[in-house]
Amino acid sequence: MDILFMVLCATVVIGFLVFIHEGGHYLAARAFGVRVTEFMLGLPGPSVGFTRGGTRFGVTAVPLGGYAKVCGMEAGEMKPHLKEVLASLYERGTAEMETVALDCGITDDEAFEALEELVEWGSVVAPTKKDQTNTYRAPASYPVRRRRRRGPTVADDCAQARYALGEPRPVPDATALFESEYCQQYRAQPFWKRSVILLAGIAVNLLFAMVAFIVIFSVIGMDLQLESGEVVHRTMSPLQSVQAGFVYIGMVVQAVAGLFNPATAAQTVSDSTSIVGIAVMSKTYFEAGVVAALQFMAMISVSLGVMNLLPIPPLDGGRFVVEVFQKLTRRLVSTRAMTYLSMAGMALFIGFFVIMLNQDVQRFILGNW
């Protein structure tokens, strides 16, 4: 039962904090009109849920963490022939890759690359496991954007045309259709909006921690033991709670920065913990009561937010650095370069994870630490 309770506590802590982190990305994206096709509680995999407003909400088979699939975040230049491929598929409703290629007068490979990018945009539905061939479908509905004159300016009207999945639909203006889909992509947004979307998850983690600190220190209060041995209950003002929160965030930032200092890197890794350590500590804090559990979640939320600020892809901080580089140099980072950077970042974090996992096994399970 202790192990089950430990797993449950870890699932609640990590699942909730990652969920609100991804919720920050989701809310920022939707606020800017960027399409989000999935918002899931859990790791990618089989899921149950419902679709609302073009987003599928649900729970996956492994409800640990969460993710929001923001459309148009692929690196590099857009694939060619997107406009004609999109128009061809929508007019047919359902079509094989080879048929789309024939319609557009392009090669099968070009059609495949364009269709797959449109799948990432949420503009096209990918083949299912039941399809014997590369069969793509138009989504159940799509937004139609019409431009009309209003005095000297041009205004946009958006209407929602309703169609069944894979149902053919007229495309009177292929350019207007493409623009209506493109404007809902992350890559179509200006630099500041992309930056907000990337950093919104971190902001939500830190905001949650601040609110938790205010609740703990200003609303609930703390029991302090005086030199005389007397235990008194004290509360802080909200401003003092916020100041204490910033002090703690600064301590975490300083600790994480120690990873980049050769003199302190080993000690920083030694003081860190993996999922095993978080699970063991979460059980201890939850057993201590609601206040202790809330305090632990606030501390882990700060750590999650600060760690995501590291300038290493695929973390949010790494993607933000890429955005800054592209803004300053006016050059796009290629898909290949982004893949290599992400692989290097993943290799680094896997190495850290293995080291910290071994530490936690020695410390919490074998008792050799």
Average of per-residue pLDDT across 124-140: 92
User: Residue 159 burial (CB < 10 Å; 0-12/13-18/19+)?
Assistant: exposed
pTM: 0.86
Among the ranges given (77-81, 154-158, 279-283), the one the predictor scored with the smallest mean pLDDT = 154-158
Alpha helices in 125-216 (DSSP H): 174-182, 191-214
Locate tokens 């950077």: which residue?
A: 341
Predicted confidence at residue 368, as pLDDT, reads: 60
Using alpha carbons, list the distances in angstroms from residue 236 to 15, 25, 215.
30, 32, 10
Q: How confident is the model at residue 225 (pLDDT cuts 50, 70, 90)?
A: confident
The beta strand positions in 198-281, using DSSP E, are 222-225, 231-234
> pLDDT tens-digit profile of 286-345?
998 889 999 999 999 999 999 999 888 888 999 999 999 999 999 998 888 888 988 988
Better-scored residue on pLDDT, 187 or 263: 187
Predicted confidence at residue 369, as pLDDT, reads: 54
Q: CA angle 75-310-301, nearest 5°? A: 110
In order of start, what are the domains of the chain with their CATH numbers? Answer: 2-70 (no CATH), 82-184 (1.10.10.10)
> pLDDT tens-digit profile of 167-223?
999 999 999 999 999 999 999 999 999 999 999 999 999 999 999 999 999 999 877
If DSSP codes are grouped into helix, strand and coil, which group holds residue 147? strand
Alpha helices in 105-173 (DSSP H): 108-120
Residue pair 39/65 in contact by the 8 Å Cβ criterion? no
By residue count, the chain amounts to 369
Highest-confidence range of 108-122, 134-148, 312-326, by mean pLDDT? 108-122
> pLDDT tens-digit profile of 58-80?
998 877 778 999 999 988 899 99
H-run or E-run covering 155:
strand 153-162
Better-scored residue on pLDDT, 142 or 29: 29
CB atoms within 10 A of CB 229: 6
User: Residue 129 burial (CB < 10 Å; 0-12/13-18/19+)?
Assistant: exposed
Q: How confident is the model at residue 154 (pLDDT cuts 50, 70, 90)?
A: very low
- Please tell me the distance from the alpha carbon of residue 200 to that of residue 196, in angstroms, as a whole number: 6
Average of per-residue pLDDT across 3-29: 90
